[in-house]
Structure 1
Amino acid sequence: MNKTLITTTLTALTILASCQSEKQPEVKNYWPQAGITYEIFVQSFNDSNGDGIGDFNGVTQKLDYIKELGANAIWFMPIMPSPTYHKYDVTDYKAVHPDYGTMDDFKNLLAEAHKRDIKIVIDMIINHTSTEHPWFQASKSGRDSEYRDYYVWAQKDTIADFLNKKVITLDSDNIQQWHDPGIGEDFYYGFFWGGMPDLNFDNPKVREEIYDIGKFWLEEVGVDGFRLDAAKHIFPDDRPLDNHEFWKEFRSKMVAIKPDVYLVGEVYDKKEIVAPYLPGLPALFNFDFHYTLIESLNSGNGQLLLQKQKEVLEFYQGITSEFTDAIFSSNHDQPRLLNDLNEDVAKYKQASAILLTMPGAPYLYYGEEIGMLGLKPDEHIREPFLWDIKEKDTGRATWIEPKYSTDETVGSVEIQRNIRDSFFNHYKELIRLRNSHPALAIGSLEILELEYPESIMAYGRKTDGQEVLVIHNVGAESMELNIPSEFDDVLYKLGTVEKNKESVTLGKNSTILLIK
């Protein structure tokens, strides 16, 4: 096992059971405004029947683990039938993939999650379907098909100038958007890939189909909400206003079915493009946060993320005061965070300390809490979760041979549970700290007027009844800083920290939280 990631020798273990536990403040559930959502790729999470593929029953078996970690909700990557491993090309919107189990299995998972006060959000992929979806099969059968207009078709001579498009976007490296189905001169539009034809949302029948699908999952199945994939591509990029209007209509339809429905959108772009979607999608993933967090840590510039987040939140406020900022440090499309930070353990731990002390609603990608590794292609960012050492891990999925997250590089949950300063216990402590201090969960972001060096990221989190001062040194050099004298109680510290009455000294990648 890689000793820089985790130590497994018995002499290095600090058994948690031997430690005296102090009485903890009450833990509250701040979801969706500021709670923790745990992202799961079912295929890799926990295999209950030994077929090598994770499944719903496997997730149900691990709900107590998710509760122990402190998460308030689960976002499931696609669970509907699909011909691909990732399942972002759906063939049936009102069913679940048989590899994952039955609809009854999923409903049981849902019921057990709700018993534990864990909400369930599923991926809803409506920008496109699979080419194997019955709608597309009927659509390509001929121009007279009643489903022809469910997709976007054009004759080859009318789109000649677009057939060899070479533009790569932030969220797609597909350089060809028009595709030949091999049935004559007609081509269909598929922004992401030829196997994913885009639905035609100019067709009212398509919109009604989508609203009916939403109703099915909310009303008949009982999920709590949707993560909306590729939300800015419902209409082409040159029709952003149509995209905004569609999502407002979608939201109104879903709220009519379930007033407290949760909707979080993937608009993979900068804040100026993202923010106008808020009236339709009240929660949006903050990609600026993700990239700037990594840049701040790797450059040693703590001011970068602080200023970026201030800009984003102020920009959002200019659109609406009612929004949820879905912040994240990694997800299923990005390299694993530890890889992005060059496997620097100190930076990795500080990244989570920043994520979980910033305003917003943090998303945690499965496996980040144990330091899983992974680089492109995407399959290797989605490798099987490690519950125990391989010989004892009956739930470990085997659908793919892991390249990065193995027993030699990553400590399993069962190993890390018994190591006081493991990644798992680090995440668990931070989540509990956030969920038990209102200022850290729902408090405002207060930018300090103190003149600190570039490597210092310092901010206040404030509610009417509580105020916390957060200071991170993301640089490599030790820093001594003056602090307001009223912050005299240490709430949390990470790394090398020394506190005096009116100053603190923070070593490399060290953090301190102070409370009045």
Structure 2
Amino acid sequence: MTQTRYSEWWRRSTVYQVYPKSFKDTTGNGTGDIKGLTEKLDYLQELGIDIVWLQPVYVSPQYDNGYDVADYEAINPDFGTMEDFDELVQELHRRGMKLMTDIVVNHTSVEHEWFKQASSGKDNPYRDYYIWKDPGPDGGLPNNWQSKFGGPAWQFDEASGQYFLTLYDKTQADLNWENEKVRRAVNDMMLFWAKKGVDGFRMDVINVISKDQRFPDDDGSVPPGDGRKFYTDGPRVHEFIKAMYDEVFGPYEMVTVGEMSSTTLEHCIRYSSPEEREFSMTFNFHHLKVDYPNGQKWELMPYDFEAMKRLFTQWQTGMQQGGGWNALFFNNHDQPRAISRFTDDKAYRVESAKLLATTLHGMQGTPYVYQGEEIGMPNPIWKGIEEFRDIESLNMYRILQEQGKNPGTAQSILQERSRDNSRTPMQWDDSPNAGFTTGTPWIKVDERYPDINVQKELADPGSILHHYRRLIALRKEHDVFVEGSFIRLDEAHPEVFAYARQAEGAALVVVSNFSGKEITFRFGDKQWAELGERSGQQLLIGNTAEAPVLAQELPLSPYASYMWLIRK
């Protein structure tokens, strides 16, 4: 492997994802703001963070928590002012950190000026900024595509007698990327932020911007049969992204990550290979669908551990062989907390949080830390449907009951699946509202905050927070984190995920017990032999008071996780 292949600075970096609405409120209005993030930059710097990903703070009616943008070049007053934003950029750069902002360009809010113009009449020059279709032959919907948030993907416009496409919320109108003027406007908007000093972009659902222009019905031959096969990784998507790179990402040397919905490994290699000149890295979500029975998010089942390990292995080896780069994550603003989903967030909460972090941070890619995971925040305790705020969740609560489920069952599904699980306020200390706000928070604070908060974690040298600090530092210290090839070592073990990262002169070995049982894990003879000479082993990090010596047979306590370095 050549040095140039892994020379990009962001390959050794760690990204911290900030959901601004729930991070820190400085005004007392119950909503987090930009100044709240600026106030906490020293905390993030001490954690070792290199890049802060700030989710949307643009003007928005907030039907989808800011992903329904009404003005791309103005700050939502709920979050502060443009001066506050400029100060944030300046303070980040002063600390040697970088800012990545969210860009949402598959759709806009129907309150965006472009859509207001487009809906004023068929002759308006902005009409073609969006996707309009006449009713189908039966006088109904243009096709049978479904919204990702439930229900049809089309909304009827009474004034013109046409439908417009909404793949997400009904207030989020899909932009027409076939229109060159749309592409020009998007590039101009990104240049506006680049010139302000923004260092990179996270591109929301970017692989759905190119639609099959026939807009055919989905015949259901490829599950889930909701139309996504006609717009996922669509016919011109790579062409559109390359144009963004040539005009914006490349000239400003930006770090970029594409959020890829229902994508494939082959496409993500193309999206993130340096030779392709598209994105720095990609998110995929396949490993977070291992508890979806038949791909259905709103049904419950125990997660398939072997499927998770198989998917991680597939993407680790495939992206490396193809020259792509992974964005590594278990948590984000759209997912329930991983500690509640895949481990034990009660009896073994501390061990579980450290296990998930160790397992993930040993892989190849750029790790993402979602606010609160570094202190082991679990899913909150929900007491009633009135506590939920997420539009997707509230839509599904209604739809689940229409499908015949009683309200209690519908709520129990929301408790496990809702995006609100990750959106409750950051827990800073044990003062009222966890130190998030002096007012009434926009969404409930989890009642366990007196025991789970940053202040308490900072004071404990053995805390989850300090475990994260060490993992983030290790990535910068050892080349094997960036360069090592991935070898799975556990042979489909029912409780253990074990893998190695092999590089010239060193190997990294990670072993994690994803069960609440004491077990003995034995490396297979072939896997043990693949590790080669092991005389120079060093325990880099572990989550128990005493760690076993790396040997072919390892005693593992519940949720034990260790990382060793072997020097060769």
Tell me the CA shift for residue 408 of structure 1: 5.0
3-state secondary structure, aligned to 2:333:
coil
Residue of structure 2 in register with 1:131 after alignment: 110
Q: Secondary structure at the match of 2:36?
A: helix
Q: Is the 8 A contact 1:371 1:410 kept in 2?
A: no
**Residue 45 (1) aligns with residue 19 (2):** no
DSSP-derived class of the 1:277 partner: helix
Aligned-residue offset at 1:123: 0.5
The CA deviation string for residues 170-225 of structure 1, in whole angstroms up to 9 with x for no partner, is xx133211112331412211111220111111111111001100111102x11011
- SS across alignment from 1:324: coil
Residue 125 of structure 2 aligns with which residue?
A: 146
The whole-number CA distance in structure 2 between the counterparts of 1:222 and 1:213 is 13
Equivalent position to 1:271, from 243, 247, 264 = 264
For 2:354, the aligned partner's letter is K
**1:68-87 superposed matches below 5 A:** 68-84=46-62, 86-87=65-66
Q: CA deviation at 1:138?
A: 0.8
Report the Cα distance in structure 1 between the residues aligned to 2:83 and 2:375, rounded to whole angstroms. Answer: 31
Matches within 5 A, 1:472-511: 472-475=512-515, 476-481=517-522, 485-495=534-544, 497-499=547-549, 504-511=554-561
Question: How far apart are 1:118 and its partner, in Å?
Answer: 1.2
Asked whether the equivalents of residues 12 and 366 of structure 2 are also in contact (C-alpha less than 8 Å), the reply is yes
Matched, 1:312 2:291: no
Amino acid at match of 1:512: Y
Alignment of 1:357 with 2:335, yes or no, is no
SS of the counterpart of 2:108? coil
Cα displacement (A) at 1:500: 7.0
**Higher RCO (C-alpha under 8 Å, 6+ residues apart):** 1
TM-score (norm 1): 0.84
Which of 458, 461, 485 pairs up with 2:498? 458
Asked if 1:224 is matched to 2:264, the reply is no
Which 5+ residue runs of structure 2 have no aligned equivalent? 1-6, 212-228, 294-301, 380-414
State the 1:386 CA deviation: 1.3
| Secondary structure at 1:211 match in 2 | helix
Displacement of 1:443 after TM fit? 2.9
Match of 1:514 in 2: 564
For residues 443-475 of structure 1, the C-alpha deviation after alignment (integer angstroms, 9 at most, x for no partner) is 313416786855333322244453322222334
Computed over aligned residues only, the root mean square deviation of the Cα atoms, in angstroms, reads 3.0
Q: Separation in 1 of the partners of 2:145 and 2:441?
A: 32
- Cα distance in 2 for partners of 1:267, 1:405 equals 30
1:286 aligns with 2:284: yes
Alignment-derived partner of residue 246 in structure 1: 240
155-164 vs 136-145, greater mean Cα deviation: 155-164
What amino acid sits opposite 1:235 in the alignment?
A: S
**Using the alignment, how far apart are the partners of 1:267 and 1:293 within structure 2?**
19
CA separation of 1:316/1:463 partners in 2, compared to 1, >3 Å: closer, same or farther?
closer
Q: Which runs of 5+ in 1 are unaligned?
A: 1-28
Q: Is the 8 A contact 2:52 2:99 kept in 1?
A: yes
- Is the 8 Å Cα contact of residues 19 and 423 (structure 2) preserved in structure 1? yes
Q: For 1:225, give the aligned amino acid.
A: G
Q: How many residues are aligned here?
A: 477
For 1:206 and 1:242, locate their aligned partners in 2 and report how far apart those are by CA, in whole Å.
14
Structure 1 residue 410: deviation in Å? 5.0
Deviations 1:14-36 (A, max 9, x none): xxxxxxxxxxxxxxx98522421
8 Å Cα contact 2:434/2:445 also seen in 1: no
Per the alignment, residue 467 of structure 1 pairs with 507
Quote the sequence identity (%): 29
Q: Is the 8 A contact 1:271 1:288 kept in 2?
A: no
2:189 alignment counterpart:
213
- Residue of structure 2 equivalent to 1:12: none
- Mapped pair 1:199 → 2:180: no
- Aligned residue type for 2:254: V
- What is residue 101 of structure 1 aligned with on the other side? 80
Q: CA deviation at 1:166?
A: 6.4
SS of 2:548 mapped into structure 1:
strand
Cα distance in 2 for partners of 1:150, 1:59 equals 34
Contact 2:26 2:36 in 1 (8 A): yes
CA separation in 2, counterparts of 1:113 and 1:256?
Answer: 22
Distance (whole Å) between structure 1 residues aligned to residue 320 and residue 550 of structure 2: 38
Residue in 1 aligned with 2:391? none
Say if 1:56 and 1:408 are closer, same or farther in 2 by CA, change over 3 A.
closer
Q: CA deviation at 1:146?
A: 1.3
Going from structure 1 to structure 2, the CA distance change for 1:300 and 1:510 (only over 3 Å counts) comes to farther
Amino acid at match of 2:497: M
